[in-house]
Amino acid sequence: MQSSVIPSLLLTKDGSHTLFNSQLNECYHSTNGARQESLHVFIEAGLKHFVDNNTPQKSIQIVELGFGTGLNAILSYVFCKNKHIACTYTGIEAYPIDILLAAKLNYTDWMSDEDKAIFSQLHSCQWDEKIELSHIFSLHKCHIRIEDYFNPSESQKYDIVYMDAFDPAKQAELWTEDLFKQIHNNMNEGGIIVTYSSKGDVKRAMRAAGFIIERLPGPVGKRHMIRGRKKTEF
């Protein structure tokens, strides 16, 4: 649908870049601040919340739906590095951005030289291959459509899902009860899904798929966001 479009670089209100897709008339992040949105929704309400409430026995399994600029991935890497947490990060993306465009993103302006090198590798590394970016962080970028990724017979289960597809108004097919059921089936008990959207339809579809839903305060410029949890079986 959007494969022919080359997104353009845009500055958001917190000084960090986002990309703009002219075909969908959509940005990859909030124009109120890409970095602040990613930190609020995915790192604080997602990764940090999970770590604070669980004692992972092994590597945390994260899957991001819509890998895009790699912003959530690099912020997750930095969080895991600082907390000495092992993580396997799977990024699903149907329309990878060009490596030259990725090099223009200013996300590493706030980071060390070591983290700058990791961000560059996030984009230069092979698709559809699991890569060890450090002794605690592995990345598996999958060049596939979100709707084709989840598989009922898949043994891989996730602890955290970053649901970061374009807005449901633009990509309704990625926010259905059926897709949330597939995601739910591929998660560990007690696992969580976080998204910037707080639409009623999204909440209902997630609830119908089996998630326990929480409505949380949103990032700057948004009242709410959603976190879902896969019930723990007793």
Site track 77-116 with ligand SAM (rule: CB under 6 A), x = hit: ---------------xxxx---------------------
Does 28 bind ligand SAM (CB under 6 A)? Our answer is yes
- The distance of closest approach from Cβ of residue 64 to ligand SAM in the complex, given in angstroms and rounded to an integer, is 6
Site track 156-195 with ligand SAM (rule: CB under 6 A), x = hit: --------xxx----x--x---------------------
Alpha-carbon distance 96 to 65, whole Å?
Answer: 12
Q: Residue 10: beta bridge partners?
A: 18
Alpha-carbon distance 48 to 80, whole Å?
Answer: 9
172 versus 212: smaller Cβ distance to ligand SAM: 172
Nearest to 112 by CA among 72, 69, 64, 77: 77
168 versus 190: smaller Cβ distance to ligand SAM: 168
Q: What is the DSSP letter of 172?
A: G
Alpha-carbon distance 66 to 166, whole Å?
Answer: 8
Alpha-carbon distance 17 to 15, whole Å?
Answer: 7
5 versus 208: smaller Cβ distance to ligand SAM: 5
54 versus 143: smaller Cβ distance to ligand SAM: 143
Nearest to 230 by CA among 198, 193, 174, 190: 190
Binding region for ligand SAM (CB under 6 A): 28, 64, 66-69, 71-72, 92-95, 145-147, 164-166, 171, 174
